[in-house]
Amino acid sequence: MSVAYSGAVSRGDHRRDTSARLVKFHAPEIVFGIGSLVEAAHAALRFGGFRPFLVTDPGIVEAGWVSELGGHLAEQGLTATIWSGLTPNPKDFEVAAGFEVYREAECDVIIALGGGSVIDAAKGVAVLAANGGNILDYEGVDEATKPIPPMVMVPTTSGTGADVSQFCIVTDTTRGTKITILGRALVPDVTVIDPRLLTTMPEWLNAATGLDALTHGIEAFVSLAHNPLTDHHALRAVGLVTENLVNTIHHPTDMHSRSVMAQASLEAGLAFTNAILGAAHAMSHQVGGMLDLPHGVINGILLPHVIRFNSTTDAGPFVAIAAALSLPESRGSAQEAALAVADRVEQLAREVGVPKGLAELGVRVEDLDRLATFALHDACMSTNPREASHEQMVALFRGAL
């Protein structure tokens, strides 16, 4: 499977001088700041919207954000068709149902107000609106070839990065796995990041999305497709999440910490959408698809194991990550730095309440062979800095039980 990035390097030559490589950096227009929600309505109007399709979920409706955004849209003369008929980890049939609502209402601009699941569902509807068929038809890279409707994203969590990424993740309910749809066309036109919206996240979701952002930063930095434009964002995200996530759990209305976590999510998203990811995400997609579990929680369990696995091939990049985390081991050997990073990630996961192993989530030994098979075919494995055999992938899953 080919992957939509430029300037990838061969395995074993990962941290060479990248100054001569051609790189591309995809990003939407970014509006950031407390009280910026109104800008989503302005963007919809600017894109020529007459009948916006607003994708959200029941929790966001209950929190009052849909009503507030609806008021801003009304001020611009726009009345949205609201669709909230989706669940966490959006399913193939849910995307199909959303598209039918979009089509029947003859909508033109898509607004997503919610977390990663809402944003992925909105992207799925956008793909079908232009290309038709079944959303599973578009698994892989650049399979959706026709221009999709304008997309305005308003994230309500701090971690998924879906609002700036070229990824769309959908659960294939027949196979019980998640598929990855990847392509430049899926990078939204505008993301409006209002840190106020993060204050209504449940504590478990705050923890999960924060760990997701941390995983994005670390995997983007060590990715085979990293480049100087992504490295800075990746390292910034790693440090900001580690320094602020716990405080947002203990003090959910602290707007400074919320703003910093919003920035961390943004920077991690900019890093991974351009550098792609690695084995932790390839594995997490399979567990999440099989058991319909929070993606970030699974990442929090898997990431330390993947760090230790990758470091045996090239521990060098983890020195900079250890320094970003202010770990004293950054002044030691590269292997010491990598192991210290893995330990620090594990510590943070425990601090925010993530289970110690996959078995606590319901993964069984008899599931490992199947999970490994699917993980090795995930697009994220193509940029993992260390290749893995089927046996090694099974062993990684077993170690994380």
The residues spanned by each domain of the chain are 29-198, 202-399
Residue among 238, 190, 224, 152 at smallest CA distance from 380: 224
pLDDT at 7: 39
Considering Cα of 87, then 346, then 251, then 161, what sign does the dihedral take? negative
pLDDT at 352: 95
pLDDT at 278: 97
pLDDT tens, per residue, the chain with 401 residues: 334 443 344 334 444 455 567 888 999 999 999 999 999 999 999 999 999 999 999 999 999 999 999 999 999 999 999 999 999 999 999 999 999 999 999 999 999 999 999 999 999 999 999 999 999 999 999 999 999 999 999 999 999 999 999 999 999 999 988 999 999 999 999 999 999 999 999 999 999 999 999 999 999 999 999 999 999 999 999 999 999 999 999 999 999 999 999 999 999 999 999 999 999 999 999 999 999 888 999 999 999 999 999 999 999 999 999 999 999 999 999 999 999 999 999 999 999 999 999 999 999 999 999 999 999 999 999 999 999 999 999 999 999 99
CATH hierarchy code of domain 29-198: 3.40.50.1970
Q: Could you tell me the pTM of the whole model?
A: 0.92
Q: How far is the C-alpha of 4 from the C-alpha of 181, rounded, in Å? A: 11
pLDDT at 10: 39
How many CB atoms sit inside 10 A of residue 203's CB?
13
Contacts of 250 (CB under 8 A, 6+ apart): none
pLDDT at 65: 98
Contacts of 370 (CB under 8 A, 6+ apart): 286, 290
Q: How far is the C-alpha of 145 from the C-alpha of 166, rounded, in Å? A: 14
Sheet strand arrangement including 151-155: 29-32, 190-193, 151-155, 110-114, 53-55, 81-83
Q: Are 29-198 and 202-399 equal in CATH topology?
A: no
Contacts of 232 (CB under 8 A, 6+ apart): none
pLDDT at 20: 62
Q: How far is the C-alpha of 183 from the C-alpha of 193, rounded, in Å? A: 22
Q: Which CATH architecture group holds 202-399?
A: Up-down Bundle (1.20)
pLDDT at 362: 96
